[in-house]
Amino acid sequence: MDMASIPSLVVCLLPLSYLFFLIWKIIDGKRHKNCYILDYQCYKPTDDRMLTTKSSGDLIWRNKNLGLNEYKFLLKAIVSAGIGEQTYGPRVVLEGREEVASHQDAIVEMEEFFYDTIDNVLERQHISPSEIDVLVVNISMFAPMPSLSARIVNHYKMRPDTKVYNLSGMGCSASLISVNLVQNMFKTHKNLYALVLTSESLSPNWYSGNDKSMILTNCLFRSGGCAILLTNKVALKQKAMFKLKCLVRTHHGAKDESYGCCIQQEDEQGRTGFLLQKSLPKAATQAFVDNLKEITPKILPIRELVRHGIVSLYHKLQARWSSTKGGARTGINFKTGVDHFCIHTGGKAVINGIGQSLNLSEHDLEPARMTLHRFGNTSAGSLWYVLSYMEAKKRLKKGDRVFMISFGAGFKCNSCLWEVVRDLEDANVWEDCINAYPPKTLINPFLDKYGWLQNEDPATFTPPQDFYRQSAN
């Protein structure tokens, strides 16, 4: 090669090399922006915290603010709630101190959850607490000073440069908010470990009044939570369990009716509780519809979107040409892009409503129904118990897509889609009972034990000394 031509060759190669560098940088950047779940651990409290029929009856009986009408209301609510006898409550309630719960009671409740789940997930992955780069804690109804996240940093002696976030007041949909926060961190920083802690503190928030809209929460909410270990390390993608495909958050707080449909406030006697308004189903539906409008194009194949558009147009034209009002319903088939549905266990009505809206089968709804029965509504942690049920039943295979949907005060609806990276079959908290699910019946024994209340006369009713008695007596 002529030496004189070398400078010309270099001049020609420099732009090409720079172009290749830019392409590589873009590709490499996208690889590091991915969000993976490396591991997760749901919390299973000890058996002495189990809210059986007996302990629930004792709890209701010692609340002197309740009368026969409230007893009947609670009986109807808990019988229709879809909750079984093995859910867990805070220790302060089972010890009869719910009206005088202390700050320390709430701290101990959270510490039992934190240290059990964090120790398990870090030990399984052989990761030291000092390797955690991002810590996100979401406990909606308990915000001490220093924060709960600071308490974890202190206990595990985490690095001083760990990015720490403490979320409160975000409600049942908070875990996906936490995941979204981590996802955004991953977009700007490479090779991170992130730990998300999601739960709710019931110890200082058990309602002891007689407002029916507030005592309803006592029938649904139970103790639980989850620790989730996430990463964007490319080297660990084959070891990961799930890859986040997309996440959408919808917030209707600007609407007064939605904002106030589930809100913490004091009753007429000054007792603090969580109020569930009659407008809640409407607010949830509106948020759900708006959320689906945004996430549907992101998770379903184009062929299904086109099919739905054509069918919808046909029925609209048909309705216009005929005298028939309305027209046939043209539902979109979510199963064309989703294999499993992970639904927030907000209650039996929530599960049924989503199932009907998305045209889901009983097989699709089984994980949510069984989770509600076994663990109750564990607030922001509930999604992960549902996910764990699917894994314990060995439903999650490589390449499957899992759709998560959750609701929360504000009012919020958050959803996301995960891709299963490898075949999963860890039983997690279901290990000792998964073979018993689904049970032959979900009917709980409350009606058998307390059905005699329905025949009592308010004018002559006197609660028995032993509230837990057979209806035959």
Distance CA 360, CA 352 (A): 9
Q: Is 291 a catalytic residue?
A: no
Q: Average the pLDDT over each of 17-26, 228-237, 361-370, 386-395 and give the range with the smallest value.
A: 17-26
Q: Is 373 a catalytic residue?
A: yes
Residue with tokens 């010309």: 8
Residue 247 C-beta-side C-alpha neighbours within 13 Å: 19
**DSSP-derived 3-state class of residue 50:** strand
Please pick, among 63, 232, 262, 340, the residue that the annotation labels catalytic. Answer: 340
- Answer whether residue 125 shows pLDDT above 50: yes
Residue 273: CB atoms within 10 Å: 22
- Answer whether residue 11 shows pLDDT above 70: no
DSSP state of 254: T
Please pick, among 35, 344, 413, 444, the residue that the annotation labels catalytic. Answer: 344
Q: Is 377 a catalytic residue?
A: yes
The encoded tokens of residue 172 equal 């049942």
- 308 or 251, higher pLDDT: 251
The conformational region for residue 120 under phi > 0 = left, psi -120 to 50 = alpha, else beta, is alpha
Torsion (CA) 47, 271, 273, 116 in degrees, nearest 10: -30
Residue 332: CB atoms within 10 Å: 19
- Answer whether residue 330 shows pLDDT above 60: no
Please pick, among 138, 251, 413, 444, the residue that the annotation labels catalytic. Answer: 251
Rounded to two decimals, what is the model's pTM? 0.89
- Answer whether residue 20 shows pLDDT above 80: no
| Whole-number Cα distances in Å, 137 to 116, 165, 248, 465 | 15, 6, 20, 43
Residue type for 181, please?
A: L
Q: What is the pLDDT of residue 471?
A: 43
Q: What is the pLDDT of residues 56-93, one digit of tens each?
A: 888 888 888 888 888 888 888 888 888 988 999 999 99
- Answer whether residue 133 shows pLDDT above 60: yes
Q: What is the pLDDT of residue 32?
A: 59
- Answer whether residue 323 shows pLDDT above 60: no
Please pick, among 42, 262, 373, 416, the residue that the annotation labels catalytic. Answer: 373
In whole numbers, what is the pLDDT of the chain averaged over residues? 89
**DSSP-derived 3-state class of residue 433:** coil
Q: What is the mean pLDDT of residues 28-55?
A: 87
Q: What is the mean pLDDT of residues 303-332?
A: 72
Q: What is the pLDDT of residues 208-231, one digit of tens each?
A: 888 988 988 888 899 999 999 999
Q: Is 103 a catalytic residue?
A: no
Q: Is 308 a catalytic residue?
A: no
Q: What is the CATH number of domain 34-321+330-467?
A: 3.40.47.10
Q: Is 35 a catalytic residue?
A: no
For β-strands 36-42 and 225-231, DSSP reports them as antiparallel
Q: What is the pLDDT of residue 106?
A: 96
Q: What is the mean pLDDT of residues 148-169?
A: 97
Q: How many residues does the chain have?
A: 473
Residue 266 CB partners (closer than 8 Å, separation 6+): 272, 273
What band does 329 get if pLDDT is binned at 50, 70 and 90? low
- 183 or 473, higher pLDDT: 183
> What percent of the chain shows pLDDT beyond 90?
62
Distance CA 406, CA 160 (A): 33
The DSSP bridge partners found for residue 41 are 227
Q: What is the mean pLDDT of residues 376-386?
A: 96
Distance CA 118, CA 197 (A): 8
- Answer whether residue 446 shows pLDDT above 90: no
Distance CA 270, CA 252 (A): 28
Q: What is the pLDDT of residue 327?
A: 46
Q: What is the pLDDT of residues 409-429, one digit of tens each?
A: 989 999 999 999 999 999 999
| CA proximity to 45, closest of 286, 193, 216, 226 | 226
Please pick, among 63, 180, 205, 377, the residue that the annotation labels catalytic. Answer: 377
Q: What is the pLDDT of residue 417?
A: 98
DSSP state of 283: H
The encoded tokens of residue 107 equal 């701290």
What band does 304 get if pLDDT is binned at 50, 70 and 90? confident
What band does 298 get if pLDDT is binned at 50, 70 and 90? very high
Per-domain residue ranges for the chain?
34-321+330-467
